[in-house]
Structure 1
């Protein structure tokens, strides 16, 4: 009795399913109904039985190897549940700093860059409303990375321009550019002030945004 059990175990271990033959049988079985369809003849029950038997045999081999039919099929199926996220836009906002007073004001431009920038120009035009004269400027990005100019237009408006130097970059995030100036006594209206920002990302895409301080 012990010898019989030993022989059965050895026979079980010696049995290795011939996967190549099984897969070949599947291909032949699948080809049979396809060829029949081209001749407008339904596949016979025998053909379907062969395909079913071969498919079952392949499934058995895959299960024995630690795989499932779903696992095999999913390797060639694209993931339909994922898609490229839309690129976030370059955004900016202009406000008059709340610490401004009856003789002096500061205009702030807050730029939100979703990606690093390789080129950047920020231009602010402060309308001449009486007594407007520059008293300074600053930005949160490194001073040495920018060329800054302040000039007066023909109509007396002040034009502040910050330009990122060649070879420098601006990281993704929020960056503030501020212009400071005196003005005639009283509450100054900033409705005529404007800003324009031109930026280029690392992918070479150029974006321009503009706005005002009408708040």
Structure 2
């Protein structure tokens, strides 16, 4: 009996065909029987099918907003986007920048310095000298002499009183200045005493304005780094 009943149920289910036209007719009758809305002043109450569509749209909007929120929460910040600063970086020890000789003292620790013009210059040529005196040996030393590129300035050479093989030397134009740079080679040292570094150059005929010329000397002693600097006279 049970097997026969199950077989008849399967046969009935397989042969069933829904009457689409009848279903639509029942829906239309139900909508026609909707009680009329009371007349009120103001906007007309929405039709039943509009209420269905509106409710569906509202549900879809909520689902879409939720999906967007979840997606946005998991998205990484795009490359190049602005970020809040994590705080100031740890302070680092820096050496004085070239061209700031006027902001440095002429004497600091074991170092003393002076900038001067060699008296043997003439109306077309000059030699600017940086004198460095140290009361202790120096494990590192860099001397920079900057000559403003005014009045036809052009290098004609340089020299220093310390051994030539102990230094690397350069003379180049940088940011409107002729810059002479002497750097002590690794493994060498500067003895205590007075030492001279000189830069030579041509200039236009007459007196040249040296108000922007300056020098710096940065050194390292057994007790740490030290720097001195200064300028030259207003004219030469």
Q: Which has the higher contact order (CA 8 A, sep 6+)?
A: 2
Instruction: Tell whether the structures are fold-level matches, with TM greater than 0.5.
Output: yes
1:186-197 aligned within 5 A = 186-197=206-217
Is 1:140 aligned with 2:158? no
Any stretches of 5+ residues in structure 1 without a counterpart? Answer: 1-86
Report how far residue 189 of structure 1 moved: 2.0
Deviations 1:114-143 (A, max 9, x none): 100010000011001221000000000000
TM-score by length of 2: 0.52
Report how far residue 154 of structure 1 moved: 3.4
Name 1:115's counterpart in structure 2: 136
Greater Rg by CA: 2
Any stretches of 5+ residues in structure 2 without a counterpart? Answer: 1-107
Name 1:6's counterpart in structure 2: none
Name 1:21's counterpart in structure 2: none
**Cα RMSD (Å):** 1.4
Name 2:124's counterpart in structure 1: 103
Deviation beyond 2 Å, 4+ runs, structure 1: none
Aligned partner of 2:230 among 194, 200, 211: 211
Deviations 1:192-214 (A, max 9, x none): 1010110011x141101110002
Name 1:56's counterpart in structure 2: none
State the alpha-carbon separation in 2 of the partners of residues 88 and 109 from structure 1. Answer: 18
Report how far residue 88 of structure 1 moved: 5.3
Deviations 1:72-110 (A, max 9, x none): xxxxxxxxxxxxxxx953110000111111000000000
State the alpha-carbon separation in 2 of the partners of residues 93 and 149 from structure 1. Answer: 21
SS in 2 for 1:122: strand
1:1-215 aligned within 5 A = 89-155=110-176, 157-201=177-221, 203-214=222-233
